[in-house]
Amino acid sequence: MEKKKFYITTPIYYPSGKWHIGTCYTTIICDALARYKRMQGYDVFYLTGTDEHGQKIQKVAASHGVEVKKYIDGVVDELKKLWDLLDISYDKFIRTTDEYHEKAVQKIFQKLYDKGDIYKSAYEGWYCTPCEAFWTKTQLVDGKCPDCGREVELTKEESYFFKLSKYQDKIQKLIEDDKEFLQPITRQNEMLNNFIKPGLQDLCVSRTSFDWGVKVPFDPKHVVYVWIDALTNYITALGYGGEDEELFKKYWPADVHMMGKEIIRFHSIIWPAILMALDLPLPKKVYGHGWLMFNNDKMSKSKGNIVDPFILCERYGVDALRYYMLKEVPFGQDGNFTNEIFLKLRNSDLANDLGNLVSRVTAMVSQYFDGVIPAPTDCNDIDKDLIALAEKMYPTVTAYMDEMRAPEALETIFKVIQRANKYIDECTPWILAKSDEGRERLKTVLFNLCETIRMTSVILQPFLTQTPAKIFEKLGIKEGMGLTDFDSIVKFGAKIDGLKVDKGEQLFQRIDIAKELKVMDEILEEERRRAKAQAKKENEKVENAVTLQQIGIEDFAKVELKVGTVLECKKVEKADKLLCSQIDVGEEKPRTIVSGIAKYYTPEDMVGRQVIVVTNLKPAKLRGIESQGMVLCAEDENGDLALITPCKSVKSGSIVG
C-alpha cells in the first residue's frame, strides 16, 4: 500500500547569523513532528532553508565590507552546523539564491503578470526594512512599524502590484469556513479583525531602490519583493516551475506550514492569495506558534541567560535543550527561558524521573537476575494499572501530536515514567528479593519496569534524539528486533525477557543548581568579553575598509613623511608598550615622539637608527607626553612588528615620497 505523505515546512531563515535558542524553536518542533510522522509510517518531506534576498541582508553584508553572496555562504554553513547539532532531520534545505528557485520565481511572477494579477503602478508608503514589510500610514503605531516597533522609511518607487484585493472574499471565506486552516484558533480572529475585514489592499511586489533579489523577468530594473520570493520556496523546493515537478505532484499541498506568530499574516493571507492566483491547492494548515521569551523579553540579548544553542548543547546535551523547547512553550502561547528553569527541568524530568528510573531498574536486574530481564509470572491490580497507563500512552500522545501539542505529549510520557517510579516504591523489590516467593513476584515487577522503560523510550525518539538509543543499549535491545518502532508499543508485554541489560553510565548527571548558575554567569561574562573584542575588531575592519578606499595623489601629498634619526630613547613609566624618542628630522630641535613598540625594540635598539616619521600629524598626548609625529612600522596579521628604515643612511629630514 502506498504510504500517506506528510509535507511539513519551517519558514526559511534570514541569514542574520544571530542564532539563539528562540530561533531554533520552529525547527525543533517541526523536527519532532516530522520524526513522529515518519515513525507512524508516513512518507515525510521536511523542508527548511534560508531567505537570502532583500534590502536587510544587502545592508548587513555591506556593513561587513563583504560581497553579499560570500557573506551569506558563511552564515548558511553556520546555520547548517546548528541544525546538525540539534539533530534536525530535514529532507531538503532550500536557499533562495539557488538558481532553480530564482528561475521558478521569475516564472511565477510572469504567470501572475500574464494573468493580469500583477500590474505596474507607483508605490508611496512606509517600509520597515528589518521586517521587509510595507505599511500604510494608518497602520503605523506612533509612526513606527506595528510589528517590531522600529523606524520605518518613507518610500516612493515605481512598482508592480499584486491584486490582493481581488482575493478579499475568498480569503475571508477560507479563514471563516475552514477552521482547520489557521491554527491555533485565536489567530483566526486576529487576522480577520486586524487585516482582512478592514479591507485587503493590493500589495507592492517589486522594488527598484536596491538590486539584491530576483529580477522581474520583463523589467529587470525591478527585483521581486522578498516575501513573494520567500513564500514561493514552499513550492519551488518541490520543483514547481522547474524541469522536474515529480516531488511537487507528490507532496503538494503542504500538510503544515509552521511559523512564529509574527509572520502568520504573510502565510495566511498573502500566500493563499498567490496560490489562488496560480490555481494551486492551498496548504492544509498554517500554524503560528508562540515565542520563546527570555525573562519575558523576545530578544536574546537579555538579562543573564545563556541563549547560545552551541554552548547549551555542549554543556548539558542536545536532548536537554530539545526537551526544554518542546516542553516549555505551551500550545500557541509564549514560553519563557531562564538558566534556572532550564537546569531545574533537566534535573527533575531527565535526571530524576527518567535517568533514575533507568539506573534503578537496570541495577536491580543486574543485582537480582545477573543482568538478564526475567519473564513475568503473574499480573495483579498494581501491574494492571501500570500496564493500562503504558498502553494508553501511544494513542494519547498521537492525538496531542496531531494538534501539535508537544508539551502535553511529553507530559503524557513522563506521567508513565513517574508512575513507574511510584510502582517501584509500591512493589518494594528490595523486600521481595529476600524470599523465594518474593523473587517470583520480583520477576514480574522487573519485567514490567523494563517494558515500561522500553515503551517510553520508543515514543520519546521523535523528541529526544540521543537518550532513547542509549536506553535501548542498556536494555540489550538491538536494531532489527522490532522493539523500537511504534507498532511495538501498541500492546504491553513485548518479548524482552532474556535480554541482557548493561547498567553503564548515568544518562543525566544531576546538576548542583546553585553552583552551575555561577558557572553560567562566568560563561556569560566570558561571552560578553569575547563579543566586545569581536565588535571592536569588526569596527576596525570597517574603519580600515573606509581608509582603504582609493585616494588620489592630492590626498597622498597631504601626508608629510621624513627620514629621522633617533638621538635618544627611553621607556615611558608605567606604560609597558611605549617608548619615547628624541628624533632629528632636520629641524632646529629634535621632535619628541611616543611609539607603541616597547615589546619589539629596546631603547638601546633605537638610538642611532634611522626611521620614517609622519611629520605633519596633529600632536597628541600619550601618558601626559606630547607626541609630535608618528614613526612608521609594518605589522603582520600575527601582530609581529618591524620598523621601516631607509636601506642606506641618508640625511635626517630627507623627504620620503
Q: Return the range that interacts with ligand MSP (CB under 6 A); candidates 19-27, 34-42, 274-282, 435-443.
A: 19-27
Least gap, CB of 284 to ligand MSP (angstroms): 17
Least gap, CB of 79 to ligand MSP (angstroms): 9
Residue choice 7, 14, 46, 423 for contact with ligand MSP (CB under 6 A): 14
Strands (E), 347-391: none
Least gap, CB of 28 to ligand MSP (angstroms): 10
Residue nearest to ligand MSP (CB): 260
What DSSP line would sit under 170-184, residue for residue?
HHHHHHHH-TTTEES
For position 51 contacting ligand MSP by CB under 6 A, the verdict is: yes
For position 11 contacting ligand MSP by CB under 6 A, the verdict is: yes
For position 13 contacting ligand MSP by CB under 6 A, the verdict is: yes
Nearest to 120 by CA among 159, 156, 163: 159
Q: Which is nearer to ligand MSP, 260 or 374 (CB)?
A: 260
Q: Which is nearer to ligand MSP, 262 or 440 (CB)?
A: 262
For position 25 contacting ligand MSP by CB under 6 A, the verdict is: yes
For position 305 contacting ligand MSP by CB under 6 A, the verdict is: no
Residue choice 6, 7, 19, 23 for contact with ligand MSP (CB under 6 A): 23
Least gap, CB of 442 to ligand MSP (angstroms): 48
Distance between the two ends of the chain, CA-based, in angstroms? 83
- Binding positions for ligand MSP, 466-505, rule CB under 6 A: none
Distances (CA, A) of 276 to 90, 112, 229, 233, 283: 28, 11, 16, 16, 11
Task: Collect all residues with Cβ–Cβ distance below 8 Å to 273 and sequence separation of at least 6.
Answer: 162, 164, 167, 170, 171, 200
Q: Return the range that interacts with ligand MSP (CB under 6 A); candidates 12-20, 151-159, 192-200, 400-408.
A: 12-20
For position 264 contacting ligand MSP by CB under 6 A, the verdict is: no
Residue choice 7, 26, 273, 561 for contact with ligand MSP (CB under 6 A): 26
For position 325 contacting ligand MSP by CB under 6 A, the verdict is: no
- Here the contacts of 520-527 (C-beta below 8 Å, separation 24 or greater) are 520/306, 520/339, 521/304, 523/306, 523/311, 524/304, 524/305, 524/306, 527/306, 527/308, 527/311
For position 439 contacting ligand MSP by CB under 6 A, the verdict is: no
Nearest to 355 by CA among 290, 420, 403, 404: 420
CA dist 524 and 36 (Å) reads: 35
CA dist 112 and 203 (Å) reads: 13
Instruction: Report which residue type is found at 640.
Output: D
CA dist 641 and 657 (Å) reads: 22
Q: Which three cell numbers stand for residue 10?
A: 519551517
CA dist 446 and 454 (Å) reads: 12
Q: Return the range that interacts with ligand MSP (CB under 6 A); candidates 8-16, 62-70, 426-434, 646-654.
A: 8-16
Q: Which is nearer to ligand MSP, 22 or 564 (CB)?
A: 22
Least gap, CB of 54 to ligand MSP (angstroms): 9
- Binding positions for ligand MSP, 132-171, rule CB under 6 A: none
Least gap, CB of 25 to ligand MSP (angstroms): 4
- Binding positions for ligand MSP, 204-263, rule CB under 6 A: 230-231, 259-260, 262-263
Q: Return the range that interacts with ligand MSP (CB under 6 A); candidates 10-18, 29-37, 152-160, 365-373.
A: 10-18
Q: With contacts defined by CB under 6 A, how many residues of the chain interact with ligand MSP?
A: 18
For position 298 contacting ligand MSP by CB under 6 A, the verdict is: yes
For position 338 contacting ligand MSP by CB under 6 A, the verdict is: no
Q: Which is nearer to ligand MSP, 18 or 197 (CB)?
A: 18
Q: Which is nearer to ligand MSP, 335 or 468 (CB)?
A: 335
SS3 at position 41: coil
CA dist 528 and 520 (Å) reads: 12
Q: Which is nearer to ligand MSP, 18 or 69 (CB)?
A: 18
**Mode of pairing for the β-strands spanning 292-294 and 335-337:** parallel
Least gap, CB of 302 to ligand MSP (angstroms): 10
For position 54 contacting ligand MSP by CB under 6 A, the verdict is: no
What DSSP line would sit under 139-194, residue for residue?
G-BTTB-TTT--B-EEEEEEEEEE-GGGGHHHHHHHHHH-TTTEESTHHHHHHIII
For position 12 contacting ligand MSP by CB under 6 A, the verdict is: yes
CA dist 542 and 540 (Å) reads: 5
Q: Return the range that interacts with ligand MSP (CB under 6 A); candidates 11-19, 209-217, 244-252, 399-407.
A: 11-19
CA dist 458 and 488 (Å) reads: 8
Least gap, CB of 285 to ligand MSP (angstroms): 15
For position 461 contacting ligand MSP by CB under 6 A, the verdict is: no
Task: Collect all residues with Cβ–Cβ distance below 8 Å to 462 and sequence separation of at least 6.
Answer: 31, 32, 33, 34, 35, 36, 38, 39
Nearest to 60 by CA among 15, 12, 20: 15
For position 610 contacting ligand MSP by CB under 6 A, the verdict is: no
CA dist 99 and 623 (Å) reads: 58
Binding site for ligand MSP (CB under 6 A): 11-14, 22-23, 25-26, 51, 230-231, 259-260, 262-263, 291-292, 298
